[in-house]
Structure 1
Amino acid sequence: MIRHLVLFKLNDGVERDDPRVVAGVKAFEELGGIIPELRFWECAWNISERPIAYDYAINSAVDDTDALTRYLEHPAHQAGVGLWREFATWVIADYEF
C-alpha cells in the first residue's frame, strides 16, 4: 500500500470562506466516492493555529504505484487540483506502508 499525504497552504489574503476555496474543498471531499483506486480517503481543515501549520490536509491510500498514477491522472483529481492552483500551494509525501 502507498500512503499519499498532501498539505495545502492558502495563499496570502485567501480565506476559507472564499468561494474558490469552498469549491476546491467540495471537489476534494467528493474524490473518495469517485476514484476507485482510493482505498482510504480523508480530508479536512487543520485545527492548529501555529504559524508553521498548513491549512488543509489530505490523507489517502492506494494499492501500488500504478494505482497512484491512475488516481493522480483521474479527471476528477485533475479538476480539483486545477481549482486549488488558483489559491494555494502544497507539499506531498508518498510512502509505502
Structure 2
Amino acid sequence: MIRHLVLFKLNEGVERDDPRVVAGEKAFRALDGTIAELRHWELGWNISDRPIAYDFAINSAFDDADSLRRYVEHPDHQAGVALWREFATWVIADYAY
C-alpha cells in the first residue's frame, strides 16, 4: 500500500471562506468514491493554531505506485489541483506501508 499525504497552506490574505477555497475543497471532497484507485480518502481543515501548521490536509491510500500515478493523472484530480493552485501551496509525502 502507498500512503499519499498532502498538506496545503493558503496564500497570504486568503481565508477559508474565500469562494475559490470553498470550490477547491468541494472539488476534492467530490473525489471520494469517484476514482477507482482510491482505497482510503480523508481530508479536513487543521485545528491547530501552531505557527508551523498547514491549513488543510488530505490523507489517502492506494494499492501501489501505479494506482497512485493513475489517481494523480485522473482528470477530476487535475481539475481540483488547478483550483488549489490559485490560492495555496502544498507539500506531499508518499510512502509504502
TM normalised by structure 2 equals 0.99
Sequence identity, in percent?
A: 78
Deviations 1:34-59 (A, max 9, x none): 11100000000000011100000000
1:79 corresponds in structure 2 to 79
The one-character-per-residue Cα deviations of 1:16-40 (angstroms, maximum 9, x if unpaired) are 0000000000000111111110000
The 4+ residue runs of structure 1 with deviation greater than 2 A are none
Code of the residue aligned with 2:64 in structure 1: it is: D
When the two structures are aligned, how many residues end up with a matched partner? 97
> The residue matched to 1:93 in structure 2 has which SS?
strand
Q: CA RMSD in A?
A: 0.4
Counterpart of 2:8?
8
- Where structure 2 has 5 or more consecutive residues not aligned to the other structure, the ranges are none
Unmatched segments (≥5 aa) in structure 1: none
Q: TM-score, normalised by structure 1?
A: 0.99
2:50 is the counterpart of 1:44: no
- Equivalent position amino acid for 1:87 in 2: F
Aligned to 1:67: 67
Q: In the alignment, which residue of structure 1 is the partner of 2:26?
A: 26
Partner deviation per Cα, 1:43-85 (whole Å, 9 max, x = no partner): 0000001110000000000000100000000000000000000
